[in-house]
Amino acid sequence: MSTDPSGADRTDTHDRKTEAALDVERTKAEVERSFAGPAERLEILGVDGALRPGTEAPLSVEQVLDALRWMMLSRTVDFRAVSLQRQGRMGTFSAVRGQEASVVGSSFALDPARDWIVPQYRELPGVVRHGFPLDGYLLYWMGNPAGGRVPDGVKILPLQIALAAQLPHAVGLGWGLKLQGIDGVVTTYFGDGASSEGDTHEAMNLAGVCKAPVVFFLQNNGWAISTPRTKQTAAATFASRAVGYGFPGVIVDGNDLFAVYEATRQAVERARRGEGPTLIESQTYRMGAHNTADDPTRYMEPVELSGWDERDPVTRVIAYLRGLGAWDDAAQKEMQDGIDAEVDAAIEAAEAFAPPNPEQIFTHVYATPPERLLQQQRDAQTANEA
Amino acid sequence: MATMTMIEAIRSALREEMARDERVVMLGQDIGQLGGVFRATDGLLKEYGADRVFDMPLAEAVIAGSALGLAVSGLVPVAEIQFLGFTHQAFHQIGPQLGRYRYRSQGRYNAQVTIRTPFGGGVRTPELHADALEAQFAHSPGLKVVMPSNPYDAKGLLLEAIRDPDPVLFCEPLRGYRLVKGEVPEGDYTVPFGKAQVVREGTDVTLVAWSAAVQLAERAAERLEQEGISAKVLDLRTLVPLDVEGLVAAVESTGRCVVVHEAPLTAGFGAEVVATVQEEAFYSLEAPVARVASPDTPYPIASIEDYYIPSVERVVAAVRATVNAS
């Protein structure tokens, strides 16, 4: 037995590196497998921007232009928010980059007037399209709780930080709508990491039993912070889990706007018909850090080397529109200029918002605060005035 | 007025409220066909149907979590977690989710959810059925924690809980379900939260308790009376909100205080009671405030549980020491 601690350390370090390298290899292999062919996976729009043989576009050109605008807006917000965070003007921010088709395509299948979104926290363009104000969203991540309030009438539940805890809420909400005969489908977002939580199992199981009108939209973006998808499950796919709950699980190319939209549309219609939930595994990729506090160079390859750059969901839609003659550089500039103005205005509005009054820590804890809490509030006021 | 057991009073509250408010739904394990393992929901499935009384999968987290979603949809869910010890499997949905939903949503949403759950020792249950976990929930802002000790309060507090716009953990004393009887009015009445009740007058010492420990304190008071010690018994009824005024008044009237609870000593809610008493009633105290609680061990196997939970003898001994301290 070696008694040389430094020797032991070297071995450990070597093993860790090997393991990390293996992870990258496994993840790449997994990614390649996921692109092996359309047999089990819904794919409509090819990487080159052309429709796959035998498919047709489920969205009109006007709708595609609208979707593209949301995707480009999302990416613009990502870049601006990260920049603001680096300047100290924004708190921790989780970018959507790489997952725009996944988020926007799925949200396009929902009717904001009657359907609900139960989000996680990486669905900015989806929740903004559904009615959450962009300036409010930014304000929340700038550290003002007022931004976290979903406006009255907007059918979105609060962002969720305790991963997968939102799934039981989504099931209860959908089930409650069904029991009361209210027309509405609930789509809840979560990731490959959150799928390992017990709440995911409990929620899907109940949803199957009570046939709740719920779409479980699992964004498999390859990473849970640094943990690769291969370490979340030994199952070949996440979608396969649905079998165990008695409802369909489908796989879509998550970087294909049309496939994501179409799969979600079918799941929403199925739920609306009273046939119960669907699990959608959207195979996409987080083209960057988990959030602004993360250093992805410690565990993943640059996106340019991973092969995901060329599968960029935004450029794919642009290539499609160009192919139809519905897009050119002038159109791109015009749309980007409009987005820049909108994002500028949202940032300006968020930054102009009065900073939160610290005393609001005492509000919204209870409908009627207990005397004990009121006393604490008075004590805090007195202490801060002294 | 009818004489009812605790379980009958609870059932009466549930049944009447379902009749009064069609938004009220029940969910939990074995609550429908079986009527609950203690029959708290007996007959409700037959009377109100499967669209209002749900036999749930064996999954505590989704019972609590789906109740939140049901509430957002417009219903008023009353969930049963079969035993308080099983809320360990659901704590993340009760404390940080139900408890914080109003706060996290900046008042857009509230979780009008009642979670009923029995607990307490002395009835020889298997592991994790008896654990008194109330302090964990009292330490979760946004929740209310209700601990009735008698049938009248059980019905009145439960109706108050169901109508409260915020989430309420309603802990039912398992030992008292059939043992504790009392007069309960027919029909609607509520018992307000945050109002402690003096259940026995006394002048030498104040025993502070909640749930099944109230009967224990009353028995100890009877024993003490024979020794010439007059003990007042204060039933807190609700831990959150806490009736600080009532607590202080009861302690000041006797100058001595002993807190009795079934939960382990360290960081039990008794610690909060003692801290409050010393903050608010220090100069009326003639002796240090004592606590009678279970030791800081896991809840033991049933055959030796009587050694673990507070007994009349331990309460009497603590009171004697307190009275003789000065």
CATH code for B197-324?
Answer: 3.40.50.920
Q: What is the mean pLDDT of each run of 10 residues along chain A (386 residues)?
A: 42 51 61 52 95 97 98 97 95 94 98 98 97 97 93 97 97 98 98 97 98 98 92 93 96 97 98 98 93 91 82 97 97 98 98 93 97 96 90
The candidate with the shortest Cα–Cα distance to A96, out of A64, A57, A123, A60, is A123
pLDDT at A258: 98
pLDDT tens digits along B12-61 = 999 999 999 999 999 999 999 999 999 999 999 999 999 999 999 999 99
Distance (Å) of CA B153 to CA A243, B79, B157: 47, 19, 6
Is A72 in contact with A334 (CB distance < 8 Å)? no
Q: What are the φ and ψ backbone dihedral angles of B197, each rounded to 5 degrees? A: -130, 135
User: In this structure, are strands B205-209 and B257-264 parallel, antiparallel, or unpaired?
Assistant: parallel
Å between A272 CA and nearest CA of chain B: 16
Interacting residues of B230 by C-beta distance below 8 A, sequence separation 6+: B202, B203, B204, B205, B224
Domain boundaries along the sequence of chain B:
2-184, 197-324
Q: Which one is catalytic: A270, A286, A311, A316?
A: A286
Chain A residues lying within 8 Å of B107, measured CB to CB: 149, 363-364
Distance (Å) of CA B259 to CA A304, B140, B290, B304: 66, 22, 6, 23
Å between A318 CA and nearest CA of chain B: 37
How much is the average pLDDT of B126-141?
Answer: 96
pLDDT tens digits along B151-182 = 999 999 999 999 999 999 999 999 999 999 99
Are the folds of B2-184 and B197-324 the same?
A: yes
Q: Is-catalytic flag, B129?
A: yes
Chain A residues lying within 8 Å of B141, measured CB to CB: 365
Per the document, the length of chain A is 386
Burial class of residue A181 (count of CB atoms within 10 Å of its CB; 0-12, 13-18, 19+)? exposed
Is a pLDDT exceeding 80 seen at residue B188?
A: yes
Give the CATH number of domain B2-184; options: 3.90.650.10, 3.30.565.10, 3.40.50.970, 3.40.50.920. 3.40.50.970
CB contact under 8 A, A149 and B107: yes
Å between B143 CA and nearest CA of chain A: 8
CB contact under 8 A, B106 and A148: yes
CB contact under 8 A, A206 and B57: yes
Is B321 in contact with B286 (CB distance < 8 Å)? no
| DSSP, res B303 | G
Delimiting residues of CATH 3.40.50.970 domain(s) in chain A: 15-355
Is A75 in contact with A125 (CB distance < 8 Å)? no
Q: What are the φ and ψ backbone dihedral angles of B67, each rounded to 5 degrees? A: -60, -40
Q: Is the domain defined by A15-355 classed in CATH 3.40.50.10860?
A: no
CB contact under 8 A, A168 and B105: no
Closest CB from B62, B110, B240 relative to A367:
B110
Distance (Å) of CA A318 to CA A57, A66, A96, A326: 14, 12, 18, 9
Interface pTM, i.e. ipTM? 0.97
Chain A residues lying within 8 Å of B164, measured CB to CB: 367
Beta-carbon neighbour count of residue A287 at 10 Å? 26
Nearest-by-CA chain A residue for B92: A165
The DSSP bridge partners found for residue B169 are B115, B145
The candidate with the shortest Cα–Cα distance to B240, out of B193, B171, B172, B173, is B193
Cα separation, B117 vs B40, in Å, equals 10
User: What's the gap between Cα B61 and its chain centre?
Assistant: 21
Q: What is the mean pLDDT of chain B?
A: 97
pLDDT at A40: 85
Is A203 in contact with A170 (CB distance < 8 Å)? yes
Nearest-by-CA chain A residue for B64: A168
Q: Is-catalytic flag, A299?
A: yes
How much is the average pLDDT of B202-228?
Answer: 98
Both tokens of A317, joined, read 């839609």
pLDDT at B19: 98
Both tokens of A307, joined, read 């092969």
Chain A residues lying within 8 Å of B65, measured CB to CB: 165, 167-169, 171-172, 199, 202-203
Is a pLDDT exceeding 60 seen at residue B11?
A: yes
Read off the pLDDT band of B326 (50, 70, 90): low
CB contact under 8 A, B64 and A199: no
